[in-house]
Amino acid sequence: MLVPESAFERAKLGSGQLVAVTRPPGAERTQYLVQAVEQAQAQGLAVVWTTCRADAPAYWPWHAILAGLGGDAAALDAEPDVCAQKVVDVLKRTPALILIDDVDVAGEEAFQLTRLVAGNVHHLPVVIVVTSTGSTALDDAVRLVERAHAALARGRITEARDLLDQAARDGDPEAALGLPGMWVNKFRGRADRALAIARLREAVAAQPPEPLHTRLVTRLAAEQAYDRRETECVLEALEQARNTGDQLTLAEALSLAHHALWSPEHTAHRLALADELIAVASAAGLDLLALSGLCRRTMDLFCLGDPHAERSQVELARRASGYPGLLFFHAAMDVMRTIRAGRFAEAEQKSLACLRLGLEAGDVDAETFHSTHLFAIRWLQGRGGELVDLAEQVTHSPTLPDLEFSFEAALALLALEAGQRDRARSALHRLTINGLTAVPLSSTWITCMFCVVHVAAALGEADIAREAYRLLEPFAPLPVVPATAIVCFGSTELLLGIAATTFGEPSLATEHLERAVTTNIRLGNLPMTAYARATLAQTVGGERGRALFDVAISDANAIGMTARAAMWAKTRDGLSGRIVIRRENAWWIVSHQGKETRVEDLVGMRYLARLVADPGVEIAALELVGGQDSGNQPVLDPVARAAYLTRIRDLRAQLDDNPTPRAEAELEALLSHLERETGMGGRGRNFAGPAERARTAVRKAIRRAIDTIAATDQSTADALREAVTTGYHCSYQPS
């Protein structure tokens, strides 16, 4: 489409536009011009179409244009600047489309007049379209903002940004909108972002005419919503955009609101915004925004696990072939689908191609997308430890948004894979120092939680796992997909299952993990289906666990997850002696060597279930009972002990000088009392503190539970006595 419909709408509001068309004469160019005429007439604009000639009189074709608009053609009898003012006075009267063919053959006077009029077009109710067979000096009259939009349409994002920056420095308020209002937070450096926000505020404060003012207000609200994770301001701005009646303003507002709501609780709302964006932008001839809406719709469908996502992606590939910036996002989603199909080598090659496409287009996220793809591939292969140093570098990259925490979480997970548990623990604690609720909901929040849950489970961080479970539970039906849909780690049910295992609820974990397997099959995610099966196998144990492991190992080997398969095989082979404890209503079921024992709900059974769920992990007895250690309290405080010792010295001195039966009796009583309150090495005895009481309580409770099991199954009880260690720290260490 040569001229977007929104250009005619803005012309009716007094803000015109110059469009320069450099196409050779012929049927194609004429078809574009006829289409523009039809659009203008549909909007109620007057139309004047004229052609330049080399043998025409001075100022032709403006004589014909003035006549067509009811002006006095004979008025063009002075210098170009005087004639330009006369033309502008006529153009102010009526919204119009003016078509000037072959401007490059116009005489010098006509060309100068056209340039002068074009310089005022943005304050006139007209759209001027000039055609030529090549570039002309008239191109300089096309605003930098419009040239930036044209560069963006051709996929040259860096060039578009540079043109907009120059336009902003020249004081054009529309340049503050950035790349046609499409994206939020594309300036990642603090200084660049501060400058962009300052330009927006300055442009808003200048009170430009509508609808530009509303467009600027909407953009500023979207940036603030992204920074503060608040949605009300951008949704209010969206309603203001609706009230303008301007299609471009509404399309931009829909795009910006969609981007500002890129966290998982808004996924369904985003899909509705994307659908509306496609409808509004398509009707207005805003091709780039319409395609952007299709791109976002595709992402949203993947985030929802919708089976129509692939169909939408195919449509995006077909329609966006001439837009490298959008093809970059399509390519990133295609890498995700290839990983999901278990074709890791092909996915890695596609990721490199995606990186090149993103760099050529100038997208700021090109390198981080590539790193994300690599992390996903290597982790699924069981080779994540190879990339731990790269994760550290990306974590400190200046191109990451301020609210981006997923790479910090990825660093913890990959460090764990590398066997660097202290490094993993340090990264996890940095992330959770103020609790997981302090980690803002963002476009990558759900993938961040994927890493957090895995690291918390491996390190036995039950409190972190419990908080993660609470935060993730509302998103159980969703797949673990960031808003950009560039990776997919299967069902969120998997994370809930792992978290439940970590805080000692194996039966709850089993329910979640069974749903995770089913959902991953539906998603067609082969690697995560195998992974969920193996995780479920480890949780249920016994013969069912071995059978699940067999399927997971076979599937993993078939798609090249050989390192994972080897780890799972080792775990499977150790299942024969493993004990599994799960909850069923008011009973505990103890599974061992193909037999199941039903035990009443004893306190000790809860402790055993927690220990058995994490073989090899030491858990404090105080943590098992849910208490806090306030330290040991001495029976005699230091002041009383010092007073006793002072009195004993005084009595001994008195007996040396004047022994009496009363003094001897008092000394003997004091020495006897002090001896009773003194432990080994002369140290004072303590009252039993919380840790000591927990140690005793856990030991007794576990002993009673094992004795109860022994009444039904002596071999299982013997295996528990051999494998369970109690004390200040307790553990289950199967042979």
Residue 286 has pLDDT above 60, yes or no: yes
| pLDDT tens string 223-281 | 887 766 678 888 999 999 999 888 889 999 999 999 888 889 999 999 999 999 999 99
DSSP per-residue codes, 521-566: HHHT-HHHHHHHHHHHHHHH-HHHHHHHHHHHHHHHHHTT-HHHHH
Relative orientation angle of helices 506-523 and 526-540, to the nearest 10 degrees: 160
Contact 361, 325 (CB under 8 A): yes
Q: Which residues contact 713 (CB under 8 A, 6 or more apart)?
A: 590, 592, 595, 597
Write phi, then psi, for 731 (nearest 5 degrees).
-160, 165
Residue 683 has pLDDT above 60, yes or no: no
Domain 405-577 - what CATH class? mainly alpha
Of 73, 53, 137, 67, residue with least CA distance to 96:
67
Long-range interactions of 79-84: CB distance < 8 A, separation 24+: 80/109, 80/112, 80/113, 80/116, 81/116, 83/59, 83/113, 84/113, 84/116, 84/117, 84/120
pLDDT of amino acid 317: 92
Provide, rounded to the nearest whole percent, the portion of the chain with pLDDT above 90. 42
pLDDT of amino acid 239: 94
Number of C-alpha atoms within 13 angstroms, CB side, residue 72?
7
Domain edges within the chain:
5-142, 405-577, 580-630+690-732, 638-676
Distance of alpha carbon 396 from alpha carbon 305, whole angstroms: 31
What type of residue is 454?
Answer: H
In sequence order, the β-bridge partners of residue 21 are 131
Of 109, 6, 124, 123, residue with least CA distance to 60:
109
In sequence order, the β-bridge partners of residue 479 are 491
Predicted model pTM: 0.68
Q: What is the mean pLDDT of residues 618-626?
A: 87
pLDDT of amino acid 680: 41
Residue 634 has pLDDT above 70, yes or no: no
Residue 550 has pLDDT above 90, yes or no: yes
Residue 682 has pLDDT above 60, yes or no: no
Write phi, then psi, for 587 (nearest 5 degrees).
-120, 155
| pLDDT tens string 560-587 | 999 999 999 888 876 766 788 888 888 8
pLDDT of amino acid 212: 85
Positive or negative CA dihedral for 462, 465, 471, 477?
negative
Q: Which residues contact 169 (CB under 8 A, 6 or more apart)?
A: none
Contact 494, 512 (CB under 8 A): yes
pLDDT of amino acid 721: 93
| pLDDT tens string 169-178 | 777 787 788 7
Residue 122 has pLDDT above 80, yes or no: no
Residue 681 has pLDDT above 60, yes or no: no
Relative orientation angle of helices 157-169 and 144-153, to the nearest 10 degrees: 170
Residue 315 has pLDDT above 90, yes or no: yes
What type of residue is 734?
Answer: P
Write phi, then psi, for 403 (nearest 5 degrees).
-95, 15
Q: Which residue has the tokens 């791109």?
A: 295
The rounded mean pLDDT for the chain is 85
| pLDDT tens string 415-469 | 999 999 999 999 999 989 889 998 888 889 999 999 999 999 999 899 999 999 9
What type of residue is 471?
Answer: L
Confidence class for position 409, pLDDT limits 50, 70, 90: very high
Residue 78 has pLDDT above 70, yes or no: yes
Q: Which residue has the tokens 């469908």?
A: 301
Strand ranges across the sheet with 579-584? 579-584, 587-592, 595-600
Distance of alpha carbon 487 from alpha carbon 724, whole angstroms: 41
Residue 663 has pLDDT above 50, yes or no: yes
Q: For domain 5-142, give its CATH number from 1.10.20.140, 3.40.190.10, 3.40.50.300, 3.40.190.100.
A: 3.40.50.300
Q: What is the mean pLDDT of residues 661-668?
A: 78
CA dihedral 423, 425, 427, 433 (to 10 degrees): -150
Same fold: 5-142 with 405-577: no
